[in-house]
Amino acid sequence: MAFVGRTMNKKIHVWAIILKDSAIHVQEISENIKKILEGAEKLLQSGHYEADLIESIAGSLEQEWKQFAMDISERGSLLACSVSFHKKSEEFLRRVRSWQDQLHDDSYSSLTDIDQLSQLLIQEVNVKKEIDTSYEAVSAESKQLIEALQKPLLAGDERDSPEFSEAASHVMELFLNVHEHHRQLGILCDAKQSGIRELIHMLTLEQDITQVIKWIDEHGEPFLDKHTDVGMTAEKAEALLKRHEEFEAIAKNTYTNANQIKEAIKQLQDTGECRPDEIRKRTQYFDRRVQTFVGRVEERKQILEQAVSFYSNTKTLHESVDKVKALLEIEELSDDPDDIAKVLLKLRHQCERALENINQSINDGRAIVEHVTRGTQDVKTTGSCEHLEELISELEAKKNVLEMAWMRRREQMELWQQLWEFERDGEQ
């Protein structure tokens, strides 16, 4: 009996025949052979005249029975292996549809609970293990069955029959079918797990982003909106700068979180775990918001530093300009034209440097006023702006006075220089 069946129903039928034949007839034959061998043994012990013939026949019978029993056992093992292979193959193929339906289910995309998604990911990993375990069982059974069907033949072995070759081809065909389904299911498993992981990454990223934006909304921006004044003195500006630096120290934690988020975004982009367009969609607002906030913080610090510098420089600038102006008012001059040229050059450098410093302070003051008044009507800043405008006006007046004094003194000295040179040329 070479037929090993093509479906579980046929396997069960074949197995039933084997069991029936083996259980009913083989046992009866075994008992009959046992009786025959016992009878032969008695005849041999009695010294029967055909003892040699009896011993030969009994030996042949016993040998043939042992071979038959071995063939029956091997056939039973082969059929059992075939039954197990078909059972596991058909069980795998029967579950393919339910696995496909589960893996095609994308309702997870609407979930927003990370813990729920994490549990779902564990379930999907277990489904993948379940599919792999079922496939590995089929693969092992197919290998064992094909090896049995293709076992080296002995003389007269019925595995040389076309039915065995057909059975081996059938087993391979069925296994390849299971293998292809397993491959397709593996693709679906990887795709769904990747989708869940991407969503977990995105939701985690959104949570972190939300915390940073929340701090900016509730603490960062309100502080900057509240503290717009620059003070009216260098001491007040320094106090405001110190308070701002304390705020920066507090904001440092938010900066760190923002940088960590940016690093996480970069890693997600580099690893390819998330689609670039999905990352951009969820992080563009974050990037703009953080950059805008950081820009405001830096701008506020710069304007306060500029205010401290402006108030400090304005005080010293008035003193230095008065000194230069005093030098310009000195009427005494040397009789030596060369000395006059040296004094004129020195005064030129001093005046130009003083005027340059005045212009720089005026520009700084105007920049501060423009910044403070831009986008705010805060009453607290009105007094500072008016005071700044007064200081700027004083600087402009100081500048005009210095320019007039320098122009008058320069013309005077140049005239004296020309006069001395004219007289010297006349004497020569």
Better-predicted residue by pLDDT, 78 or 321:
321
Task: Please determine, for residue 123, whether its predicted confidence score (pLDDT) is greater than 90.
Answer: yes
Task: Give the rounded percent of residues in the chain with a pLDDT score beyond 90.
Answer: 34
Domains along the chain with CATH numbers: 1-196 (1.20.58.60), 227-427 (1.20.58)
Q: Could you give the CA distance from residue 86 to residue 32 in angstroms, rounded to a whole number?
A: 37
What are the φ and ψ backbone dihedral angles of 153, each rounded to 5 degrees? -85, 150
319-362, pLDDT tens digit by residue?
888 888 888 877 666 566 667 778 888 888 989 898 999 999 99
Q: How far is CA 348 from CA 16, 60, 157, 339, 405, in A?
A: 123, 138, 122, 14, 12
Q: Quick check: 54 and 43 in contact, CB under 8 A?
A: yes
Q: Quick check: 329 and 405 in contact, CB under 8 A?
A: yes
Q: Could you give the CA distance from residue 211 to residue 219 in angstroms, rounded to a whole number?
A: 12
Helix/strand/coil (H/E/C) assignment for every residue in 16-51: HHHHHHHHHHHHHHHHHHHHHHHHHHHHHHCCCCCH
Q: Quick check: 248 and 297 in contact, CB under 8 A?
A: yes
Q: Could you give the CA distance from residue 100 to residue 108 in angstroms, rounded to a whole number?
A: 15
- 125, 144, 142, 136: which is closest to 182 by C-alpha? 136
Q: Could you give the CA distance from residue 410 to residue 341 in angstroms, rounded to a whole number?
A: 11
pLDDT at 101: 94
**How is residue 151 written in tokens?**
């076992």
Q: Could you give the CA distance from residue 103 to residue 191 in angstroms, rounded to a whole number?
A: 9
Q: Could you give the CA distance from residue 214 to residue 310 in angstroms, rounded to a whole number?
A: 36
Task: Let me know if 415 is exposed, middle or buried by CB neighbors in 10 A (0-12, 13-18, 19+).
Answer: exposed
Better-predicted residue by pLDDT, 42 or 259:
259
**How is residue 335 written in tokens?**
């009789």
Task: Please determine, for residue 4, whether its predicted confidence score (pLDDT) is greater than 50.
Answer: no
Task: Let me know if 185 is exposed, middle or buried by CB neighbors in 10 A (0-12, 13-18, 19+).
Answer: buried
pLDDT at 2: 45
- 94, 66, 69, 70: which is closest to 8 by C-alpha? 94
Across the range 365-382, mean pLDDT stands at: 75
pLDDT at 103: 94
pTM: 0.64
Across the range 106-117, mean pLDDT stands at: 90
pLDDT band at 147 (very low <50, low <70, confident <90, very high): confident
| Radius of gyration for the alpha carbons in the chain, expressed in angstroms and rounded | 52
pLDDT band at 167 (very low <50, low <70, confident <90, very high): confident
